[in-house]
């Protein structure tokens, strides 16, 4: 009778190697919230981190003139509606006053108050419009300008692409078996073990890589140069 000798060989689990580019944590295309002529753009800031500065200025001359006039009108309108309110309250307490007189005083008071409130709302709208015509960046990287001085932009026109470089991210596409027990696995970058963890895994497969799941690793203090290609292993 022949004996069969079974030799148990050690099983090595080989992690799949991924390559991911160090990307900005966030990238946003700023679009115009108003329609206006572009007065100036700061070309020197393109491709730089802007600590605190205005990079695009849209024409707000008419808005500022309208705002000044409306603010001046508001003082008189408030005084007028307050007087009419006081008159109505006094008249309303008089038994000798007719219903017609009281109604007339009331409608005058309400019309005056509505005009005051409408003008007040207009002032807030003008302030908002003016603020949207001054694109100011705070600690953001101005990746690209999409407009020039002298152009006219409409609502929704792209103005600039800005990026958040305070953190970085690595985007991977993992196979189903790779996302199992992720919390128990370590992440290696260029062969070096790290304390990083996968920050987020999409619950559905990717549109392009239909059998893989998109995943992101966040680098809070990025020491790698942006756009550098890193070898990533999860094992």
Would residue 139 be called left, alpha or beta, if left means φ above 0 and alpha means ψ between -120 and 50 degrees?
left
Residue 8 confidence (pLDDT)? 43
What are the start-end ranges of the H helices in the chain? 61-92, 99-131
> And the tokens for 80?
């007028």
- CA angle at 121 for the pair 117 and 122, rounded to the nearest 5°: 115
Residue 222 confidence (pLDDT)? 82
Residue 106 confidence (pLDDT)? 95
Domain boundaries, the chain: 17-59+133-234, 61-131
CA 173 to mean position of chain CA atoms:
26
Would residue 68 be called left, alpha or beta, if left means φ above 0 and alpha means ψ between -120 and 50 degrees?
alpha
CATH class of 17-59+133-234: mainly beta
The DSSP call for residue 7 is -
Dihedral angle of Cα 71, 75, 78, 83, to the nearest 10 degrees: -160
Residue 31 confidence (pLDDT)? 97
Contact in structure between 217 and 179 (CB atoms under 8 Å)? no
Give the pLDDT of the chain (235 residues) as one tens digit per residue.
Answer: 445 444 444 444 456 899 999 999 999 999 999 999 999 999 999 999 999 999 999 999 999 999 999 999 999 999 999 999 999 999 999 988 899 999 999 999 999 999 999 999 999 999 999 999 999 999 999 999 999 999 999 999 999 999 999 999 999 999 998 888 888 899 999 999 999 999 999 999 888 888 899 999 999 988 888 999 999 999 8
Residue 81, exposed/middle/buried by CB under 10 A (0-12, 13-18, 19+)?
buried
Residue 10 confidence (pLDDT)? 44
Residue 164 confidence (pLDDT)? 94
Residue 223 confidence (pLDDT)? 84
The DSSP call for residue 3 is P
């Amino acid at each position: 009778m022949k004996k069969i000798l079974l030799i148990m060989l050690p099983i090595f689990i080989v992690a799949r190697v991924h390559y991911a580019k160090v990307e900005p944590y966030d990238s946003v295309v700023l679009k115009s919230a108003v329609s206006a002529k572009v007065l100036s753009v700061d070309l020197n800031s393109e491709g730089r981190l802007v600590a605190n500065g205005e990079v695009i200025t849209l024409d707000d001359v008419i808005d500022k003139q309208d705002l000044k006039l409306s603010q001046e009108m508001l003082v008189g309108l408030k005084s007028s509606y307050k007087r009419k309110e006081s008159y109505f309250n006094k008249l309303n307490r008089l038994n000798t006053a007719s219903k017609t007189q009281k109604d007339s005083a009331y409608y005058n008071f309400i019309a005056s108050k509505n005009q005051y409130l409408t003008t007040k709302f207009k002032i807030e709208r003008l302030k908002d419009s003016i603020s949207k015509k001054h694109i100011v960046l705070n600690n953001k990287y101005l990746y690209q300008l999409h407009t020039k001085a002298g152009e006219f932009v409409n609502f929704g026109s792209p103005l600039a692409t800005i990026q958040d470089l305070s953190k970085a991210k690595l985007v991977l596409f993992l196979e189903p078996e790779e996302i199992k027990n992720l919390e128990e696995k370590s992440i290696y970058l260029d062969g070096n073990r790290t304390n990083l963890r996968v920050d987020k895994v999409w619950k559905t497969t990717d549109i392009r890589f239909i059998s893989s799941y998109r995943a992101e690793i966040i680098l809070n203090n990025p020491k790698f140069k942006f756009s550098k290609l890193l070898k990533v292993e999860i094992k």
